[in-house]
């Protein structure tokens, strides 16, 4: 049997093997040229750099060979049924598409069909392979978006190139991020009923009824209006991102359930909280509601979790006490420390009226002190029913949003408050939604949803 005949009879996997061997040879030639020149003694770093620079092209070519073999049928297809009416259509021409995956650049020449009945052009291979219309494919888009959720777009694209030897523009990063963000809706960013039930089950032990904690707060985010083309950037303005974090306190651990933050008004905040509350089986849980003194968050937390125990954030409360002490007695004076300690102790034992009584009898040192004392009295009167820290401790309820509870700060501040960053509201909210998805463990789901919409278009 001649060579040609033998090749014809080869299994497709053997063809693939041959194609890869060709690519290996090309790559080896390149390495030989670079490394084995007379007198050269490259170091580890130089050799590693050479691999980094050449492997994208090498793997991209292997990747292409794999597709060409695996999908030879689709690539050589002459007729295909119209996805809309089912009529058999003849191939019009081959369409070359350059794609980039995390493996490197590849090119696919695939048949393009057109149905005259429907005036509809289609590419069967694209549907099967889930090819993105962008040059950078979904695997790149997914990692780029994940990167942009952590660092600014410009340094994100630099970092991405540095770590993956794969350059993407900050423009691509920004665009893709916004598009993925559009599909990150509350329904998907929040874990499903089943997922929430499973996490509740995880912390329920026979002797311990877990505490579901709902902690709400607002964080100020620097925003600006979107500028029109050729127009100067809009004027900056601070807006409040309102959000909540819901988690379970088990006997010896904390299990996160859901975070959600958006630059939005309190009405929308209430609607979102109510939606998330509807995914939680409240009956078998003890519930603690945690917040600072802002009325809007209490109104909605109580409406959504009516049997929740209301707890005024201890640290926020203590901050008010410190402020008065500083103005009245002077920072770090003995009297200041003593007063703070005794006041906080009394609040710990729910002696709110006692503290208010004392404040009312205090002789303000000056007008500043007077104003702060007046504010503290109002604050304590407003939140009287929410101060019972000793009882909270005994019941296993958290009393403050320090440490683990500060997800709001983690989600909002670390990415949103970088110096010089002013967010267009829509982009800022997309950023918050994607950061929440990552934190909630739902980013996969969100990205899948985005991907599906891009393929069926």
**Distance of closest approach, residue 89 Cβ to Zn ion, in angstroms:** 7
User: How many other CB atoms sit within 10 Å of the CB of residue 65?
Assistant: 20
**Distance of closest approach, residue 118 Cβ to Zn ion, in angstroms:** 3
Instruction: Spell out the residues 6+ positions from residue 15 whose beta carbon is closer than 8 angstroms to its own.
Output: 7, 69
Total residues binding Zn ion (CB under 5 A): 7
Residue entry with tokens 């209490």: 298
Pattern of binders to Zn ion over 74-113, x per CB under 5 A?
A: --------x-xx-x--------------------------
Strand, coil or helix: 263 = strand
DSSP alpha helix (H) spans, 190-330? 193-203, 266-277, 295-304, 314-329
Residues within window 222-261 making contact with Zn ion, judged by CB under 5 A: none
Output the DSSP codes for 58-108: HHHHHHHHHHHHHTHHHHS-SEEE-TTT--EEEEEEEEEEEEEETTEEEEE
User: How many other CB atoms sit within 10 Å of the CB of residue 40?
Assistant: 9
**Structural contact between residues 217 and 243, judged by C-beta atoms closer than 8 angstroms:** yes
**Distance of closest approach, residue 84 Cβ to Zn ion, in angstroms:** 4
Instruction: Spell out the residues 6+ positions from residue 50 whose beta carbon is closer than 8 angstroms to its own.
Output: 31, 34, 35, 42
Residue 115 or residue 276: which is nearer to Zn ion going by CB? 115
**Distance of closest approach, residue 133 Cβ to Zn ion, in angstroms:** 21
Residue 119 or residue 334: which is nearer to Zn ion going by CB? 119
Strand, coil or helix: 19 = helix
d(CA 385, CA 309): 10
User: How many other CB atoms sit within 10 Å of the CB of residue 396?
Assistant: 15
**Distance of closest approach, residue 97 Cβ to Zn ion, in angstroms:** 22
Classify residue 4 as exposed, middle or buried by CB count within 10 Å of its CB (0-12, 13-18, 19+): exposed
In terms of phi and psi (left: phi > 0; alpha: psi -120 to 50; beta: otherwise), the region of 131 is beta
**Distance of closest approach, residue 268 Cβ to Zn ion, in angstroms:** 43
Residue 111 or residue 291: which is nearer to Zn ion going by CB? 111
Residue 120 or residue 208: which is nearer to Zn ion going by CB? 120
Residue 83 or residue 222: which is nearer to Zn ion going by CB? 83
Q: What is the CA radius of gyration of the chain?
A: 31
Residues within window 389-448 making contact with Zn ion, judged by CB under 5 A: none
Residues within window 124-163 making contact with Zn ion, judged by CB under 5 A: none
Residue 92 or residue 209: which is nearer to Zn ion going by CB? 92
Residue 87 or residue 452: which is nearer to Zn ion going by CB? 87
**Distance of closest approach, residue 120 Cβ to Zn ion, in angstroms:** 6
Backbone φ, ψ for residue 78 (5° rounding): -100, -30
Residue 117 or residue 268: which is nearer to Zn ion going by CB? 117
Residues within window 23-82 making contact with Zn ion, judged by CB under 5 A: 82
Selected from 117, 201, 237, 268, the binder of Zn ion by CB under 5 A is: 117
**Structural contact between residues 137 and 447, judged by C-beta atoms closer than 8 angstroms:** no
Residue 117 or residue 192: which is nearer to Zn ion going by CB? 117
118 binds Zn ion (CB under 5 A): yes
377 binds Zn ion (CB under 5 A): no
**Distance of closest approach, residue 114 Cβ to Zn ion, in angstroms:** 9
**Distance of closest approach, residue 94 Cβ to Zn ion, in angstroms:** 21
What is the enclosing helix (H) or strand (E) of 249?
Answer: strand 236-249
Selected from 61, 74, 115, 131, the binder of Zn ion by CB under 5 A is: 115
Residues of the shown chain interacting with Zn ion in the complex, contacts defined by CB under 5 A: 82, 84-85, 87, 115, 117-118
């Amino acid at each position: 049997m001649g060579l040609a005949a033998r090749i014809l009879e080869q299994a497709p996997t053997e063809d693939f093997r041959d194609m890869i061997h060709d690519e290996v040879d090309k790559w080896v030639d390149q390495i030989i040229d670079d490394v084995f020149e007379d007198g050269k003694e490259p170091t580890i770093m130089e050799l590693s750099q050479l691999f980094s620079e050449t492997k994208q092209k090498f793997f991209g070519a292997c990747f292409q060979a794999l597709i060409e073999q695996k999908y030879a049928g689709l690539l050589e297809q002459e007729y295909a049924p119209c996805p809309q009416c089912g009529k058999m259509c003849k191939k019009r021409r081959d369409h070359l598409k350059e794609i980039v995956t995390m493996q490197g650049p590849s090119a696919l020449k695939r048949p393009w069909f057109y149905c005259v009945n429907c005036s509809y052009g289609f590419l069967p291979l694209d549907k099967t392979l889930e090819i993105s219309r962008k040059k950078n494919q979904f695997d790149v888009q997914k990692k780029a978006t994940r990167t942009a959720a952590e660092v600014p777009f410009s340094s994100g694209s630099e970092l991405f190139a540095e770590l993956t030897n794969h350059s993407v523009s900050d423009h691509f990063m920004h665009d893709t991020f916004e598009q993925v963000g559009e599909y990150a809706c509350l329904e998907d960013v929040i874990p499903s009923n089943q997922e929430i039930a499973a996490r509740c089950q995880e912390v329920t032990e026979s002797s311990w009824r877990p505490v579901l904690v709902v902690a709400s707060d607002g964080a100020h985010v620097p925003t600006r209006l979107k500028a029109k083309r050729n127009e100067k950037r809009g004027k900056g303005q601070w807006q409040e991102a309102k959000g909540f974090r819901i988690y379970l306190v088990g006997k010896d651990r904390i299990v996160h359930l859901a975070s959600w933050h958006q630059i939005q008004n309190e009405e929308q905040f209430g609607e979102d909280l109510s939606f998330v509350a509807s995914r939680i089986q409240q009956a078998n849980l003890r519930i603690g509601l945690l917040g600072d003194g802002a009325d809007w968050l209490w109104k909605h937390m109580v409406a959504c979790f009516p049997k929740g125990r209301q707890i005024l954030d201890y640290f926020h409360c203590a901050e008010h006490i410190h402020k008065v002490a500083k103005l009245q007695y002077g920072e770090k004076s003995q009297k200041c420390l003593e007063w703070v300690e005794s006041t906080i102790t009394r609040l710990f034992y729910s002696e709110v009226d006692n503290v208010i009584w004392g404040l009312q009898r205090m002789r303000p040192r000056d007008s500043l002190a007077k104003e702060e004392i007046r504010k503290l009295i109002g604050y304590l009167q407003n939140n009287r029913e929410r101060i019972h820290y000793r009882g909270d401790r005994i019941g296993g309820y958290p009393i403050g949003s320090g440490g683990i509870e500060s997800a709001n700060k983690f989600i909002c501040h670390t990415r949103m408050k970088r110096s010089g960053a002013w967010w267009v509201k829509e982009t800022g909210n997309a950023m918050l939604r994607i950061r929440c998805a990552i934190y909630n463990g739902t980013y996969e789901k969100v990205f899948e949803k985005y991907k599906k919409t891009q393929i069926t278009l």
